[in-house]
């Protein structure tokens, strides 16, 4: 059995490596020559704990190799990005290009799977494309969609143990794809059709976005009502059937803040709640900026001098070094640019340096600043003690005092 993975990013590379631990031969394809060279030398170009050791193992075993071009295989996996074009419209041109790149290699009995997050109908579109170019393969190859659900940082465990949803363009395709994934997935493999599998991925991340928006909306209401939102949510969650998430600075990363648009751009009239949740979560960062600016103004009026400000955390969620689409970074950028204060200390304990922010160590910033703004709930911040001599804006629940 030989498998070919197109796209060696945050999902494609780990999946190819883990599959190579269980099957004879895997070729991982990427258009970036640096990625291919690095990977073949046993170096990981992404950050994922434990993955580099696994990469070296499968290279030594002879079951994994990276390449710039696809090769004749028994199964092909499309794991490339689906970015936006225009106003949050999904752009499936990478999926299409990756599909075109494997079409010449396809033969009777092969399996073709899309893993990339995709708008509903993409798998059927790619099936049409394949059969347009290779009509003799109609009914003779197996085509399915199988989204990933792993949490970055815990990929080795989740890739193997999470349940997966697998949807073929027909029953035989679903079964063939299930058979492949069963070689390295211990979680249950749930069979469905391609459109449901595509929608399932979008639904999972939209559901979380909507739930976080509810928590963020409560934070706006509680600020007006003079109620501690953290205490409110803790108490409401004592109800046996209520489970409210936590408010924060907004929603970041490359998944939850992105995938809902795949629904809203295709079904605008039917997705009012999902669209509103996106707006609320985006607005949360602006609301935080306003509150910081107001606190600076009030300090100046009360003390007759401008305050120094500490901005604690840039990553999009706690205890990681990933700043992609981070609302904390967006807030810090805006405050550094517009707040006319003598000193701003930017703190991100998970990275050594940053090209636009001068970073300060956690305790130094906490000691020196008049106003301390908690943006991301990193562990070193959670270890700090409350200080009555500071103005603390706690947007991510470090002390949960206001």
State the catalytic residues. 201, 255
Residue (23 or 200) nearer to ligand SAJ, CB: 200
Least Cβ distance, residue 393 to ligand SAJ (angstroms): 16
**97 forms part of the interface with ligand SAJ (CB under 6 A):** no
**252 forms part of the interface with ligand SAJ (CB under 6 A):** yes
**119 forms part of the interface with ligand SAJ (CB under 6 A):** no
3-class secondary-structure state, position 201: helix
Residue (101 or 376) nearer to ligand SAJ, CB: 376
**248 forms part of the interface with ligand SAJ (CB under 6 A):** yes
**313 forms part of the interface with ligand SAJ (CB under 6 A):** no
For the chain, give me the number of helices (H) and strands (E)? 14, 14
Residue (196 or 308) nearer to ligand SAJ, CB: 196
Angle (CA) 123-128-131 rounded to 5° is 125
Residue (40 or 282) nearer to ligand SAJ, CB: 282
Cα separation of 381 and 365, whole Å? 11
- In sequence order, the 6+-apart residues with CB closer than 8 A to the CB of 178 are 166, 189, 191
Size of the site for ligand SAJ (CB under 6 A): 18
Of the candidate spans 120-128, 190-198, 241-249, 334-342, the one that interacts with ligand SAJ by CB under 6 A turns out to be 241-249
- Report the length, in residues, of the chain: 402
3-class secondary-structure state, position 212: helix
Residue (316 or 345) nearer to ligand SAJ, CB: 316
Cα separation of 240 and 127, whole Å? 46
373-383 b/e with 16+ CB inside 10 Å = b? bbbbbbebbee
**23 forms part of the interface with ligand SAJ (CB under 6 A):** no
Cα separation of 14 and 4, whole Å? 13
Backbone angles phi, psi at 345, to 5 degrees: -105, 120
Of the candidate residues 246, 282, 308, 402, the single one contacting ligand SAJ (CB under 6 A) = 246
**208 forms part of the interface with ligand SAJ (CB under 6 A):** yes
Residue (73 or 264) nearer to ligand SAJ, CB: 264
Q: β-pairing, 309-312 with 344-347?
A: parallel
**245 forms part of the interface with ligand SAJ (CB under 6 A):** yes
Of the candidate spans 99-107, 129-137, 205-213, 223-231, the one that interacts with ligand SAJ by CB under 6 A turns out to be 205-213
Least Cβ distance, residue 326 to ligand SAJ (angstroms): 7
Q: Could you tell me if 159 and 15 are in contact, meaning their C-beta atoms sit under 8 angstroms apart?
A: yes
**375 forms part of the interface with ligand SAJ (CB under 6 A):** no
- The position carrying tokens 């928590």 is 215
Of the candidate residues 71, 179, 204, 334, the single one contacting ligand SAJ (CB under 6 A) = 204
**27 forms part of the interface with ligand SAJ (CB under 6 A):** no
Cα separation of 17 and 119, whole Å? 27
**7 forms part of the interface with ligand SAJ (CB under 6 A):** no
Backbone angles phi, psi at 65, to 5 degrees: -150, 145
DSSP string covering 29-87: E-S-HHHHHHHHTT--SS--TTHHHHHHHHHHHT-EEEESS----SEEEE-----EETT
**230 forms part of the interface with ligand SAJ (CB under 6 A):** no
Of the candidate residues 5, 299, 316, 357, the single one contacting ligand SAJ (CB under 6 A) = 316
Of the candidate residues 98, 166, 212, 288, the single one contacting ligand SAJ (CB under 6 A) = 212
Which 137-156 positions form the footprint of ligand SAJ (CB under 6 A)?
149-152
Residue (172 or 246) nearer to ligand SAJ, CB: 246
Residue ranges in contact with ligand SAJ by CB under 6 A: 149-152, 204-205, 208, 212, 245-246, 248, 251-253, 255-256, 316-317
């Amino acid at each position: 059995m030989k498998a070919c993975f197109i796209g060696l990013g945050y999902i494609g590379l780990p999946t190819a490596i883990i599959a190579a631990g269980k099957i004879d031969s895997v070729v991982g394809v990427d258009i970036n020559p640096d990625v291919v060279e690095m990977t073949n030398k046993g170096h990981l170009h992404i950050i994922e704990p434990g993955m580099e050791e696994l990469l070296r193992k499968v290279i030594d075993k002879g079951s994994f190799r990276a390449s710039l071009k696809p090769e004749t295989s028994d199964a092909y996996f499309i794991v490339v990005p689906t970015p936006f074009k225009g106003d949050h419209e999904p752009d499936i041109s990478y999926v299409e290009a990756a599909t075109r790149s494997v079409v010449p290699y396809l033969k009777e009995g092969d399996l073709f799977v899309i893993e990339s997050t995709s708008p509903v109908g993409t798998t059927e579109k790619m099936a049409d494309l394949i059969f347009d170019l290779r009509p003799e393969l109609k009914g003779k190859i197996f085509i399915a969609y199988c989204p990933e659900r792993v949490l970055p940082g815990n990929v080795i465990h989740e890739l193997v143990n999470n349940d997966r949803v697998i949807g073929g363009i027909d029953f035989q395709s679903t079964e063939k794809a299930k058979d492949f994934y069963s070689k390295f997935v211990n979680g249950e493999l749930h069979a469905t059709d391609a459109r449901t599998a595509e929608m399932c991925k979008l639904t999972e991340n939209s559901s979380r976005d909507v739930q976080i928006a509810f928590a963020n909306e409560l934070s706006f209401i509680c600020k007006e009502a003079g109620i501690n939102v953290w205490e409110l949510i803790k108490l409401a969650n004592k109800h046996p059937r209520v489970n409210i998430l936590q408010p924060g600075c907004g929603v970041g990363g490359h998944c939850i803040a992105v995938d809902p648009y795949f629904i809203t751009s295709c079904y605008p009239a039917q997705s009012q709640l999902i669209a509103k949740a996106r707006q609320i979560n985006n607005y949360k960062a602006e609301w935080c900026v306003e509150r910081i600016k107001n606190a600076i103004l009030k300090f100046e009026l009360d003390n007759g001098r401008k305050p120094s400000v500490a901005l604690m955390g840039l990553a999009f969620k706690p205890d990681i070094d990933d700043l992609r689409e981070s609302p904390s970074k967006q807030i810090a950028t805006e405050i550094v640019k517009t707040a006319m204060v003598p000193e701003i200390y930017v703190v991100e304990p998970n990275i050594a340096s940053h090209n636009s922010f001068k970073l300060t160590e956690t305790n130094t910033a906490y000691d020196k600043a008049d106003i301390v703004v908690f943006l991301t709930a990193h562990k070193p911040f959670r270890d700090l003690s409350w200080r009555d001599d500071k103005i603390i804006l706690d947007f991510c629940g470090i002390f949960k005092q206001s």
